[in-house]
Amino acid sequence: MRERKQLPYTQLEGLSERQLKEHHDVLYGGYVKKWNEIQEKLASTDRALANATYSEFGELKREETFALNGIKLHEGYFDNMKAGGSESAGMIKEWIEKDFGSYEKWLEDFKALGVAARGWAILAFDLDEGKLYNYLCDSHNQGGVWNSVSLFIMDVYEHAYFLDFATGRKAYIDVFFKNINWGFVNAQIEKYKLQQFRL
């Protein structure tokens, strides 16, 4: 059984508690609940009936990654925000400047991703390439690249902003950037010891 984390959502600039706690948190909790339910069902599902068009086993495995990435991406999204925000600094700033030319160029690309994506904009570190990439994900289990570590995550599903901004996604993205916890992103680089993969 997976437990839901208590996420730090309150008092972010420009995002209401109603938006964050009453709605986004409920959705996040739903992914945890469904992942647990899928694990229970997998324990007794008949593998002999596996089929690519339809099978209970196939559908459970398909939705297992949807639910688990829904959990991981939401936890990362909330963890990389904090009240008051911060300026980009440290290792992540250095790597962004080297891999994208400048922080401003990275930001332009990442914000455009936020407008273009149907689900997520993600800054990830590719372990094989030893560098950073911006990725667009239209769904929790679509658009990611293997052997990559997600470092900085922005939720651009309508449920992340619609109560506060209606269709104003660009305004939401600007507010999101007022609440960034770059210290958390740098801590992720340390946690996964990513320096050793840097080429």
The contact set with Fe ion (CB under 5 A) reads 155, 157, 160
List of residues 6+ apart from 85 with CB closer than 8 A: 13, 177, 178, 179, 180, 181
Order of strands across the sheet that contains 148-155: 131-137, 120-126, 148-155
Q: How far is CA 188 from the centre of its chain?
A: 13
Please tell me the distance from the alpha carbon of residue 73 to that of residue 159, in angstroms, as a whole number: 14
Question: Which amino acid type is present at position 139?
Answer: S
Minimum CB separation of residue 183 from Fe ion in Å reads 22
* Number of other CB atoms surrounding residue 148 within 10 Å: 17
The SS3 assignment for 197 reads helix
Which uninterrupted H or E stretch holds 125?
strand 120-126
